[in-house]
Amino acid sequence: MEISIFTVDAFTEQPFHGNPAAVCLLEDKLEENQHQKIANEMNLSETAFIRKLNPTDDFTKKNVNSTLTFITLSGELIARQAEDHIILDLPLYFTHPQDVKEVEELVKAAVGDKSVQDVRYSPDTKKLLIRLSDAYERADLEKLKVNAENLLLAEKTGRIKGVIITLKGDGRGKQESYDFYSRYFAPWYGVSEDPVTGAAHTVLSSYWSQQLGKKKMCAFQCSARGGRLKISLRQDGRVDLGGQSSIVLKGFLSI
């Protein structure tokens, strides 16, 4: 059997940037263990499998109002196309002030001696949000050397499974102004640093919306690959995360 397969870089319009994922187009169902084998073979953070619900469905037909529902370990993920962007429909998660003394060692492992302006915790996602002082610039966040092993050793609460480091935007993006920057680390799940993280922005969106008094924002995740996200908080308590994408590989997988 041959399966059409693509590698897509998400949250970017440039090849080799953003978050890489494999996408498989299936004409028929696969055995459950084959999904995992294909994902292991692709060796990327995400592998998506898209299957026709009806024999007459056309994978190649373009529809600006089309939506896809992905079944993930975290529940259903709905994506839709809007002009040249793909919009993810995600829940919005709020943060609460964190006693810095409880996570002092973890904060130091993440940002060293840098000045910290705020520390928050999201119980729904088990993510710790560390906001650097507004005195810093994007380059300071990009230069941070974060050791994943040190994060694991420094986490003593047993509650935290991801660390977000964020910084207020300086309005001096190369192509556009950004409201905030971030980086994300989740060694508890085997991810030393994630290139671009939709899940982290479900937390970042609520935090920065409160801080900036804005419902629409533009963000940049400052990993080595980098990725740009357009954010829109909705009336129903959810958030739309938008980004462009670039297909960098097309081919067939033989199984």
Q: Annotated catalytic sites, by residue? A: 46
Are the CB atoms for 203 and 184 separated by under 8 Å?
A: no
| Nearest residue to 211 (alpha-carbon basis) of 169, 255, 173 | 169
At residue 171, φ and ψ (nearest 5 deg) are 70, 20
Cα 90 to Cα 76: distance, rounded to the nearest angstrom: 9
Q: Which residues contact 12 (CB under 8 A, 6 or more apart)?
A: 18, 196, 225, 226, 227, 228, 243, 244, 245, 246
166-192 burial, b at 16+ Cβ within 10 Å, e below that, comes to bbbbeeeeeeeebbbbbbbbbbeeeee
What DSSP string describes 106-118? HHHHHHTT--EEE
DSSP-assigned letter for residue 133: P
